[in-house]
Amino acid sequence: MLPPVLIISISVVAVEVVVGATGNGFITAVNIINWIKSKKISSADVILIFLTTSRFILQVTILMHIHSLYFVDVFKLASVYKAFGAIWMFVNHASLWFSTWLFVLYSVKIINATQWLLLQIKMRIAGMVPWLLLGSLVISSVTSLPLLWITPSTYLCSSTGNCRENNTAHATDWDRSHFYLLLLYIVGCFFPLVLSMVTSGLLIISLWKHTRKMQCYVETFRDPSIDVHLTAIKSMISFLILYVSSFIAQILLILSTSQSKDDVKVAVSLVVVGAYPSIHSIILILVNSKLKLAFRMLCQHLRCHLKI
């Protein structure tokens, strides 16, 4: 029987997964329908489709992670255990890269670029998107596939691949295998997070410069581009807060073992990890005018349907 705090946390994660799956499914459906209707698709919408698909898979792996922590019979085979770890690492890193490129694309369009390099990026970013997505998948594979060759330290595995829990395995193998897992996780997250922070900094600098230029105009005049800057900055900062929180929580989960757990720490970490892809899908809907309009139309349709 699981402790009450873990039962509550698993219930909360289940709600988060439902909300996230609904939000990500809505975003994907809207973009695909618009694609079919208009016979064309923007670079931002392509990234959104990749992002929401990876987020859905990521939320499935979160549920599987709960099973790996508390229902270890599901992961008796070493091959299954390692495959799950590689899939989780892949979709986690790919999702982060996709989110980063989405904000880079939005930011490049907003930033008032004067430097030659930024101008070149601004003119070519749309054509670079397919290569950026492909590169993200390749990099995510490089930082996740090595897990297939790391022996899971939580178990001692026989020659047939059947795994049994063993305290000695924890004592002797934890440092090596978990160190590799942490290293791959941190390396895969480092560069997209740095890129996101740099982009946030450029947005803030661009807003500051633009605001200074507008000070010579009438104070009552409200430049719409300032609102665009502020919306993008708020969206990116909220994403960074969510992901950094999830990043820390995920590290705490990696450091947790089936032989020695702080139930409260694991419960809170699970909720935080599950919240990241769910809440961010809601933020994407709120900051995207097309998605927001589609959501309002859906709500009106449902309201009218319920009145009938």
Instruction: Identify the CATH number of the domain in which residue 253 sits.
Output: 1.20.1070.10
Q: Residue 17: is its pLDDT beyond 80?
A: yes
Is the pTM for the entire model greater than 0.85?
no
Q: How many domains does the chain have?
A: 1
Confidence of residue 157 (pLDDT cuts 50, 70, 90): very low
Domain that holds residue 23: 4-154+164-292
Report which of 176, 175, 148, 164 is spatially closest to residue 72, judged by C-alpha positions.
Answer: 164
The angle at the Cα of 119, spanning 118 to 125, to the nearest 5 degrees, equals 80
Q: Pick from 84-98, 140-154, 157-171, 244-258 the range whose average pLDDT is largest.
A: 84-98
**Is residue 303 situated within a structural domain?**
no
Q: Residue 133: is its pLDDT beyond 90?
A: yes
**How many angstroms separate the CA atoms of 177 and 175, rounded?**
6
**Is residue 201 situated within a structural domain?**
yes
**Is residue 189 situated within a structural domain?**
yes
Confidence of residue 230 (pLDDT cuts 50, 70, 90): confident
**Is residue 302 situated within a structural domain?**
no
Q: Residue 46: is its pLDDT beyond 80?
A: yes
Instruction: Calculate what percentage of the chain has a pLDDT beyond 90.
Output: 11
Q: Residue 258: is its pLDDT beyond 50?
A: no
The letter for the amino acid at 303 is R
154-175: average pLDDT? 44
**Is residue 219 situated within a structural domain?**
yes
For residue 255, how far is the Cα from the chain centroid? Answer: 20
Report which of 185, 74, 58 is spatially closest to residue 177, judged by C-alpha positions.
Answer: 185
Q: Is 144 exposed, middle or buried (0-12, 13-18, 19+ CB in 10 A)?
A: buried
Q: Is 13 exposed, middle or buried (0-12, 13-18, 19+ CB in 10 A)?
A: buried
102-106, 122-126, 270-274: least confident range: 122-126
Confidence of residue 223 (pLDDT cuts 50, 70, 90): low
With contact defined as beta carbons under 8 Å apart, do 110 and 205 qualify?
no
Neighbours of 292 (CB within 10 A): 13
The two tokens of residue 162 are 């059947």
**Is residue 111 situated within a structural domain?**
yes
**Is residue 57 situated within a structural domain?**
yes
- DSSP summary character for residue 152: P
**Is residue 305 situated within a structural domain?**
no
